[in-house]
Amino acid sequence: MSLLLFLAVFVLTHVVSALTDSYGLLFAMRFVGAFAYAGFWAVGGSTAMAMAGPKRRGQAMSIVAGGLTVATVLGLPAGTWIGQHFGWRGAFWAVAILSAIPATAALAVVPMLRPEIPPRVRDELRGMAPPRLWLSYAMTATATTALLGTFSYLSAMLLETTGLDPAWVPAVLFGYGLGALIGIAAGGRAADRIPRAILGIGFAGLLITSLLLALTAHRAEMVVALIFLLGLLGFSTNPALNSRFMTIAPKAPTLAVSGNISAFNVGITLGPWLGGLALDAGYDYPAIPAVGAAIAGIALLLWGWDLALQRHRLNSERLTTRLPI
């Protein structure tokens, strides 16, 4: 029911946006649409993991996140083409029509999952107490900041610094999207078996790739390969970041996942903002992936801290079981 409600609101906001002549109403509809999008993403992720079962949660989230990646890769050029040929209202109508399709599919296919005991806000708030949960949020926010900050300025860097022909920019960005799809698929399989390892590998890979991108931004052949790796390594951690909350905070299944979506959105906001600050300070475009590398380093440190907390908890449990009663 919640999925249908969020989708209905999302469709309605785009219909109103396509019809209005008021900038204020258009701005308000974008805000409401973003709220519905975030709500659908949170509920959709939880529903997918519940349908898949505890042994395939990571793989389920990789499929959901893969859909988002495909939409991002295809949606930007498609929206640009529609806007050029049918005007900006045509783009809103296209989104409204396309969004009605998953609403119909959800109504026909997705089962009505209801918990035996409806979650209470007070109990879920208590379930969000584990320190590792908030460390996970910090890892999500920092990793997303590192990745999206660089991605937001890739086109400009390819044109201004690398000197790439404008006709080749979409193809290079498609390579990023292809890498992201491969990373999500591989990360989804790994998240169910080695979740901690895939986070460490992904964060370290994001750091190294971002640093190399900053150092070799003038070499087209290096940049093309590194952008593919940026998408692959940057998105490989998403399934593990999304699915681990069922284990860390089992008593807060709804709020824990919703909090992670908020952490993603924090990173989506901070990344481009920090990149803009670097440019305003007088640095060139290669400084942006350098900033991303530094932030990826913070994510890696947080991962190490989380690993230490996990080992401390396991050692404490082993010691407790050995004590005489």
Number of neighbouring beta carbons within 10 Å of residue 85: 8
**Mean pLDDT confidence for 269-275:** 94
Which amino acid, 287?
A
Amino acid 199: pLDDT: 94
Give the list of residues 6+ apart from residue 157 with CB closer than 8 angstroms, or none.
217, 223, 285, 286, 288
Measured at the CA of 121, the angle between CA 129 and CA 35, to 5 degrees, comes to 100
Read off the pLDDT of each residue in 278-304 and give the average, rounded to a whole number.
Answer: 96
Amino acid at 275: G
User: What is the rounded CA–CA span in Å between residue 151 and residue 173?
Assistant: 9
Mean pLDDT of 86-100: 90
Ramachandran category for residue 283: left, alpha or beta (phi over 0 → left; psi -120 to 50 → alpha): beta
Domain boundaries defined on the chain: 1-110, 123-325
pLDDT in tens, 123-182: 778 888 888 889 999 999 999 999 999 998 998 999 999 999 888 888 888 888 889 889
CA 33 vs CA 40, 121, 182: distances in Å: 10, 25, 29
Highest averaged pLDDT of the listed ranges 10-24, 41-55, 90-104, 110-124:
10-24
Higher pLDDT residue, 240 or 293?
293
pLDDT value of residue 227 = 95
What pLDDT is attached to residue 85? 84
- Band of residue 261 on the pLDDT scale cut at 50, 70, 90: confident
Mean of the per-residue pLDDT values of the chain? 84
Secondary-structure class of domain 123-325 per CATH? mainly alpha
Mean pLDDT of 14-21: 93
Please give the pLDDT value at position 169. Answer: 85
Of 10, 26, 6, 8, the C-alpha closest to 18 is 26
pLDDT over threshold 90, residue 7: no
pLDDT at 101 over 90: no
* CA 209, chain centre distance (Å): 18
Model confidence at 118, pLDDT cuts 50, 70, 90, reads low
The better pLDDT of the pair 29, 50 is held by: 29
Q: Tell me what pLDDT residue 195 has.
A: 85
Instruction: Dig out the tokens for 9 from the structure.
Output: 């609101």
281 against 86, higher pLDDT: 281
Most confident of 19-33, 55-69, 245-259, 311-325: 19-33
Query: Quick one: pLDDT at residue 13?
Result: 94
How high is the pLDDT of residue 298? 97
